[in-house]
């Protein structure tokens, strides 16, 4: 009788430990995939002219649109600014 009670208690502790471990790993996963954690400094911007993706520091930006080069910025504005 005493042994069975010990086994039940051990099983309950094991289940509780699994639940806690599960919650902890879920919290870790959320932290790792959270945006703005410093790992996505190289944001990619899409060129409005040719659609190529360029790193944000190298992109040309005009009126909220991004371009891979000054040439494509000029081409886009020629066709879309009237």
Burial of 80 (0-12, 13-18, 19+ CB in 10 A): exposed
Nearer to Zn ion by C-beta: 45 or 49? Answer: 49
User: Shortest gap between Cβ of 62 and Zn ion (angstroms)?
Assistant: 12
Binding site for Zn ion (CB under 5 A): 47, 49-50, 68, 72
Nearer to Zn ion by C-beta: 21 or 80? Answer: 80
User: Angle 32-43-52 (CA atoms, 0-180°, nearest 5)?
Assistant: 135
User: Shortest gap between Cβ of 52 and Zn ion (angstroms)?
Assistant: 5
Nearer to Zn ion by C-beta: 45 or 72? Answer: 72
Helices (H), 1-82: 2-33, 70-80
């Amino acid at each position: 009788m005493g042994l069975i009670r010990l086994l039940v208690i051990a099983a309950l502790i094991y289940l509780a430990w699994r639940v806690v471990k599960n919650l902890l790993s879920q919290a870790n996963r959320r932290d790792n995939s959270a945006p703005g954690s410093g790992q996505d400094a190289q944001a990619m911007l899409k060129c409005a002219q040719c659609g190529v993706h360029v790193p944000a520091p190298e992109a040309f930006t005009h009126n909220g649109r991004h371009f891979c080069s000054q040439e494509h910025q000029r081409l886009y504005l020629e066709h879309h600014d009237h």
